[in-house]
Chains A and B, each alone.
Chain A
């Protein structure tokens, strides 16, 4: 019994701390898995935020996007007639959704034309006796075949997903405008089945391999290593240069805000960041120096250094986590106070949170430098995935904040009636949102497909994204990301450390759902979602 308790509570932690290098690999693997979950959840969040629909078909959109991509890369044979039919139909649908009545009329006609042509082709293939068909093969059977390289296939797939968004809006969403959520949800289930079948019909049902040119193998990072002393020196120089900056900022920022007639300048993070940058680097440098000296209880210089750096970076990580939690608590407290009292409660100051957090981050950076030198194992492909996800998130953030369309999206997510009154076309927005969700699905499809091949179980990802949404909140973009990371890392940690300790297999499969259950009990709106209070 005691044994079991020990294995449950203590052993995993011991396991983590005794081999920090391995822990690092596990965590990194978890982060990267989490990023992939987050991408899928992101698609859900976008659609839910803008149209209030829970898109069950998100997973299958990932599959569909990946299938299209692979299909285009492998080579596509399109019958001329079919091609004409498709082009007509799609152009028709796009125009039909347009603003001008004339365009709408033309669109309707084109769409009808496309459907007619397609019907003719299908019908001919089915009904005409073989002889006539073969004879007419010149007309009906001929087509073009082409193969696109990756850089061509991706834009083409994006176009396909955009067209898909138009079609979905025209065929499904338009008629569901004032229906209940459950009906919309069922519509998306139907969409799921349709897309699955359609994808299978068009692209075939075998597992496909997606090769995007990045090897799914460990990276050889040894060439990147810098001598530790150089790294520490850089850190220290940055710190010295910026201490002055940090204290000089106070006066300057206010001044410059006035005289150049700009808004109030936010304190640059450079100041406190570099200060602690330097402090941490200096500490590492000194520690190395100290350890390199004679110390009988240390086994060997190299090993001791390794242990030190490893401990530092974990300490840093713990610090970052603590600061993040504190910041979260502060922000939430402020938000609640604002809701309760309507007072403009400004934060006392986030500067020191930032400073501490950056100190930790820098210690982590030091750890990474060491890890790289020690030859830690990072999978190149997973790194690419994380980078792509990060870029996507940044682009989305910029999109929401800075662009006109982004503004309109935020407005629609907030209040439909008001958005309409301000001149925003709801249906136009829906098309955009579904198109963006489609592109995000494509990104997710590339990553998942690249890792494990494009197969029909890809659509089950939708299920894995559900716990992510519950954790992060259905309407929060940062929530989707953080939720994904928590689940990704948590899964892996649980699998590796608790699994081996207690001897339970496949914790990875159900950990996410267990966590989601806990959240549903205690915080159903997730970490970042909005509390929905309904009047009874």
Chain B
């Protein structure tokens, strides 16, 4: 793949070290370790029930592992909550599409900008860094009043964010459904909107949980193209869970294979495909 040569793959951005996760007596993940490097497309694959989504939930902060650590951007995280993970630059899509059903496509993608939507007071407080921390609640209150009155600065911000969202809509080719409430969209389009919302957060690490599920060949091609373009243009690191082997082999830089909560292989797609343990885990049938 010529494009891989153009991508700059850097140092480790996420390190998963000896993670074990249990729910009562059920061991979802046992002793899994791997690394994801900056700027690469990393796939997590494995038969159903292998613990892939649980792994993503651990990275995202929905679950906290009983053992093991996760280091993100060099710092070890302790019991990070999902919204804190989001604030550090991790964006996530869900297997069953967790969109805000009552809102339109545009509004949904706009919610991705919420973390970056600060009023003028808050921006000032943030600029003060740690010194400004105690001022933040006050700043939030001031901004709130600004908001209600929808004065000049708020409107300006609104336009800037709207432009970002429109560019994403253009990128994902979903102009036609801009104003449609997402609850009415077909599944494939919903997944695209969810990707749009994740992109709106301008994440450093993008976690995609089965982004191609339920799509036909053409839709999968489109989605693959989007994933590659995102990685190419913005340098976003992407970790995805996927069942379609064709897609995985095609676009991933590296792959980790889980089975019954354990890692059974790790490496470049071609290596993994030929690994006998992997073949056995999938009952000898490649997709």
CB of B83 within 8 A of CB of A425, answer yes
In this complex, what residue of A is CB-closest to B100? A414
CB of B83 within 8 A of CB of A424, answer yes
User: B117 at interface (Cβ–Cβ under 8 A)?
Assistant: yes
CB of B147 within 8 A of CB of A404, answer yes
In this complex, what residue of A is CB-closest to B86? A423
User: B184 at interface (Cβ–Cβ under 8 A)?
Assistant: yes
Most buried by A among B114, B115, B119: B114
> With A342-B186, A422-B114 in contact, do A405 and B86 touch (Cβ < 8 Å)?
no
Give the tally of cross-chain contacts (CB within 8 A). 93
- Which of B98, B102, B107, B185 sits near A421, CB closer than 8 Å? B98
* Residues in chain B near residue A404, CB distance under 8 A: 114, 117, 119, 143, 147
Choose, from B87-95, B167-175, B263-271, the stretch at the interface: B87-95
B32-74 Cβ-contact flags toward A at 8 Å (1 or 0) = 0000000000000000000000000000101000000000000
Most buried by B among A395, A403, A410: A403
Smallest distance from the beta carbon of A163 to chain B beta carbons, Å?
13
CB of A414 within 8 A of CB of B86, answer no
* Residues in chain A near residue B100, CB distance under 8 A: 410-411, 414-415, 418-419
A388-429 Cβ-contact flags toward B at 8 Å (1 or 0) = 000000010011001111011011001101111111111000
CB of A422 within 8 A of CB of B102, answer no
CB of B201 within 8 A of CB of A423, answer yes
CB of B82 within 8 A of CB of A402, answer no
User: A344 at interface (Cβ–Cβ under 8 A)?
Assistant: yes
- Which of B86, B103, B150 sits near A420, CB closer than 8 Å? B86
User: B110 at interface (Cβ–Cβ under 8 A)?
Assistant: yes
* Residues in chain B near residue A403, CB distance under 8 A: 144, 147-148
In this complex, what residue of A is CB-closest to B93? A421
CB of A422 within 8 A of CB of B148, answer no
In this complex, what residue of B is CB-closest to A345? B184
Smallest distance from the beta carbon of A332 to chain B beta carbons, Å?
15
* Residues in chain A near residue B86, CB distance under 8 A: 420-423
* Residues in chain A near residue B60, CB distance under 8 A: 421
User: A103 at interface (Cβ–Cβ under 8 A)?
Assistant: yes
In this complex, what residue of B is CB-closest to A425? B83
CB of B114 within 8 A of CB of A398, answer no
> With A344-B180, A418-B99 in contact, do A402 and B147 touch (Cβ < 8 Å)?
yes
Smallest distance from the beta carbon of B20 to chain A beta carbons, Å?
22
> With A402-B147, A422-B111 in contact, do A415 and B101 touch (Cβ < 8 Å)?
yes
B128-168 Cβ-contact flags toward A at 8 Å (1 or 0) = 00000110010000011001101000000000000000000
Smallest distance from the beta carbon of B128 to chain A beta carbons, Å?
14
User: B197 at interface (Cβ–Cβ under 8 A)?
Assistant: yes
* Residues in chain A near residue B103, CB distance under 8 A: 410-411, 414
Smallest distance from the beta carbon of A292 to chain B beta carbons, Å?
50
CB of B147 within 8 A of CB of A418, answer no
> With A420-B82, A422-B197 in contact, do A411 and B111 touch (Cβ < 8 Å)?
yes
CB of B184 within 8 A of CB of A417, answer no
User: B112 at interface (Cβ–Cβ under 8 A)?
Assistant: yes
- Which of B62, B99, B111 sits near A407, CB closer than 8 Å? B111
Smallest distance from the beta carbon of B90 to chain A beta carbons, Å?
9
CB of B91 within 8 A of CB of A408, answer no
CB of B114 within 8 A of CB of A407, answer yes
* Residues in chain A near residue B183, CB distance under 8 A: 339
User: A2 at interface (Cβ–Cβ under 8 A)?
Assistant: no
CB of A426 within 8 A of CB of B83, answer yes
User: A214 at interface (Cβ–Cβ under 8 A)?
Assistant: no
In this complex, what residue of A is CB-closest to B112? A422
- Which of A407, A414, A417 sits near B110, CB closer than 8 Å? A407
Smallest distance from the beta carbon of B17 to chain A beta carbons, Å?
22
CB of A402 within 8 A of CB of B150, answer yes
Most buried by B among A343, A421, A424: A421
Smallest distance from the beta carbon of A339 to chain B beta carbons, Å?
8
In this complex, what residue of A is CB-closest to B197? A422
Cα(A290)–Cα(B68), bound, Å = 91
For chain A residues 108-154, which have a beta carbon within 8 Å of chain B?
Answer: none
Cα(A344)–Cα(B82), bound, Å = 34
In this complex, what residue of B is CB-closest to A428? B83
- Which of A342, A395, A415 sits near B99, CB closer than 8 Å? A415
* Residues in chain B near residue A415, CB distance under 8 A: 98-101
> With A402-B147, A402-B148, A426-B83 in contact, do A421 and B114 touch (Cβ < 8 Å)?
no
Smallest distance from the beta carbon of A115 to chain B beta carbons, Å?
22
Most buried by B among A98, A100, A407, A424: A407
CB of A399 within 8 A of CB of B148, answer yes
* Residues in chain B near residue A424, CB distance under 8 A: 83, 114
User: A338 at interface (Cβ–Cβ under 8 A)?
Assistant: yes
In this complex, what residue of B is CB-closest to A405? B144
- Which of B81, B101, B110, B184 sits near A342, CB closer than 8 Å? B184
In this complex, what residue of B is CB-closest to A404? B117
CB of A422 within 8 A of CB of B115, answer yes
> With A405-B147, A423-B83, A426-B83 in contact, do A417 and B98 touch (Cβ < 8 Å)?
yes
Cα(A100)–Cα(B87), bound, Å = 13
Cα(A426)–Cα(B83), bound, Å = 8
Cα(A398)–Cα(B149), bound, Å = 9
Smallest distance from the beta carbon of B108 to chain A beta carbons, Å?
9
Binding site for A on B (CB under 8 A): 60, 62, 81-83, 86-87, 91-92, 94, 98-103, 107, 110-112, 114-115, 117, 119, 133-134, 137, 143-144, 147-148, 150, 180-181, 183-186, 197, 201
Binding site for B on A (CB under 8 A): 94, 98, 100, 102-103, 338-339, 342-344, 395, 398-399, 402-405, 407-408, 410-411, 414-415, 417-426
Other contacts beyond A407-B114, A411-B114, A419-B100: 17, CB < 8 A:
A98-B137, A339-B184, A342-B185, A344-B180, A404-B119, A405-B147, A407-B110, A411-B100, A418-B94, A419-B111, A420-B81, A420-B86, A421-B60, A422-B86, A422-B112, A423-B86, A423-B87
Sampled A-B contacts (5; CB under 8 Å): A339-B183, A404-B114, A407-B107, A414-B102, A423-B87
Leading 6 A-B pairs by shortest Cβ distance: A423-B86, A418-B98, A403-B147, A420-B82, A423-B115, A414-B100
